[in-house]
């Protein structure tokens, strides 16, 4: 009998492929939600903006959006670096920089959403 | 035993001249998807965070931001980023539809590529007109 063994591949490619699509759908839903709420509250003025982002549930939704965005950006930028940057040490350095920037964006998001309170 | 005749190697291009290649429309959408994604990562995210931050601080900060945005260069940046966002979103939806086997045949892929390009430009122009 043949043992059920997977002989090739690390299989993270398929995981990234799926993550890229799930995060994309999350972001698309959030975009529709944000545009809908802004329209509901009367457009792009200060009052509308404040009412939309003043809501705690919407802040959580925004945070979920940002996590999806940063994950999505990591998969995308990593693919670009793997395609165009050939020397391994340069690529590794750039990848570490990108991770640093993404973590920084995450911290900044938390500050923007909850820092003022 | 006779030596096996090997086919003579054809001359191959040693480099790819991107200006000599006529890219099909789906390829144009694909490379713009990548370029717009890179643009959104490097410029879009920090500027969006900056904008939301200002918008949430106070009415004065909001008013100040509107004054700062009211110049040709900032407007141009906003318009380019709006295009990047819209193109990336539409090309992404096209991708998801193709994952679901919608429009994977050549004709459909060309039509949806053209639609993505045209719609993203039309929507961007609509935003630009409102902004200017």
pLDDT means per 10 residues, chain A with 117 residues, are 70 88 97 92 82 91 97 96 95 97 96 83
Return d(Cα A53, Cα B22) in angstroms, integer: 47
**Is the reported ipTM for this assembly greater than 0.90?**
no
Confidence at residue B14, expressed as pLDDT on a 0 to 100 scale: 67
Chain B residues touching residue A18 (CB < 8 angstroms)? none
Confidence at residue A71, expressed as pLDDT on a 0 to 100 scale: 97
Confidence at residue A2, expressed as pLDDT on a 0 to 100 scale: 66
DSSP tag of B16: -
Run of H or E residues at A13: helix A12-40
Run of H or E residues at B50: helix B45-57
Confidence at residue B11, expressed as pLDDT on a 0 to 100 scale: 76
Note whether A108 contacts B96, CB cutoff 8 Å. Answer: no
B50: nearest CA in chain A? A112
**Which residue, chain included where needed, has tokens 């090309």?**
B91
Chain B residues touching residue A55 (CB < 8 angstroms)? none
Note whether A112 contacts B34, CB cutoff 8 Å. Answer: no
Rounded to an integer, the average pLDDT of B79-104 is: 95
The 3-state DSSP class for residue A4 equals: coil
For the stretch A53-65, what's the b/e string if a residue is b when 16 or more beta carbons lie within 10 angstroms of its beta carbon?
beeeebbebbeeb
Structure tokens at B122: 């039309």
B71 pLDDT exceeds 70? yes
**Which residue, chain included where needed, has tokens 């929507």?**
B123
Percent of chain B predicted with pLDDT > 90? 62
Q: How far is A3 from chain B (nearest CA, A)?
A: 31
Note whether A105 contacts B62, CB cutoff 8 Å. Answer: no
Confidence at residue A88, expressed as pLDDT on a 0 to 100 scale: 95
Chain B residues touching residue A77 (CB < 8 angstroms)? 37-38, 41
Confidence at residue B13, expressed as pLDDT on a 0 to 100 scale: 66
């Amino acid at each position: 009998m043949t043992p059920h063994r997977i002989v090739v591949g690390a299989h993270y490619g398929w995981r990234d492929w799926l993550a890229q699509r799930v995060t994309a759908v999350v972001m698309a839903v959030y975009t529709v939600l944000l545009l809908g709420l802004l329209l509901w509250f009367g457009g792009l003025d200060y009052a509308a903006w404040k009412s939309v982002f003043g809501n705690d549930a919407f802040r959580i939704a925004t945070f979920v959006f940002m996590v999806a965005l940063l994950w999505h950006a990591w998969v995308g930028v990593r693919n670009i670096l793997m395609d165009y940057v050939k020397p391994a040490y340069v690529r590794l350095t750039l990848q570490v920089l990108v991770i640093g920037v993404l973590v920084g964006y995450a911290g900044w998001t938390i500050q923007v959403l909850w820092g003022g309170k | 035993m006779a030596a096996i005749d090997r086919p003579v190697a054809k001359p191959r291009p040693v480099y790819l001249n991107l200006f000599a290649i006529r890219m099909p429309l789906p390829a144009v959408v694909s490379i713009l998807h990548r370029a717009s994604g890179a643009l959104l990562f490097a410029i879009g995210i920090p500027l969006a965070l900056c904008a939301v931050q200002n918008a949430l601080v106070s009415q004065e900060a909001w008013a100040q931001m509107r004054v700062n945005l009211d110049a040709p260069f900032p407007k141009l940046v906003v318009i380019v980023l709006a295009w990047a966002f819209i193109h990336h979103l539409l090309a992404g939806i096209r991708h998801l539809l193709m994952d679901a086997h919608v429009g994977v045949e050549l004709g459909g892929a060309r039509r949806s590529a053209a639609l993505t390009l045209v719609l993203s430009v039309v929507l961007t122009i609509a935003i630009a007109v409102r902004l200017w």
